Amino acid sequence: ENVKDSAGGIMSTVYISLREGMTVETAIHTLREMAPDAETTYYVYVTNASGALVGVLSLRELIVAQPSTFIRSIMRRNVISVHVDEDQEEVARVVSKYNLLAIPVIDADNRLLGIITVDDVLDVVQEEATEDVLRMAGAPQGTHRDSGTPLAKTRKRLPWLYTLLFGEILAAG
């Protein structure tokens, strides 16, 4: 499978993650420094000392918590994530199923590698839909519409043109 068609191929490596042992006050201070560079700040991902993804929380949850509270006590531990080798269509299905704005990408050791935002997923869905339409129309696989000789293109589309012509004659009658 092609790397560009996987989660790793469409993920952004600019994201916000915090350590589970931080206090809310330290986390907010860290966010102020990191946020301008991050792709998105919908969710804050929480990692342990070895970089493994252990939790997630929203900015709202972080802001309303007491400053002395530890991140590990307010984070949600059941994080929906995708593996770096996951097919991009499967990533789109997961994002859609759980109605996420972003999804973390992890490796085999559960280490956080990046995130995929909903706008990246929309690009994938649009690309896949275009491929499906071209395939149904009889366009050559893996090529652009300007490939092939005019005669070859005509031969490929001729059965469709005859079918449409016959349908139109019936409709007119």
Q: What is the mean pLDDT of residues 7-14?
A: 89
* Confidence grade of residue 141 (pLDDT, cut at 50, 70, 90): low
For 68: left if phi > 0, alpha if psi spans -120 to 50, otherwise beta; the answer is alpha
Does the pTM surpass 0.85? The reply is no
Burial 18-49 (b: 16+ CB within 10 A, else e): bbbebebebbbebbeebeeebbbeebbbbbee
pLDDT more than 90, % of the chain? 45
Q: Which residues pair with 103 in a beta bridge?
A: 116
DSSP element (H, E) containing 45: strand 43-47
Pick the most confident of 14-18, 82-86, 149-153: 82-86
d(CA 44, CA 64): 14
pLDDT in tens, 20-48: 999 999 999 998 887 666 656 678 999 99
* Confidence grade of residue 51 (pLDDT, cut at 50, 70, 90): very high
* Confidence grade of residue 157 (pLDDT, cut at 50, 70, 90): confident
pLDDT of residue 2: 63
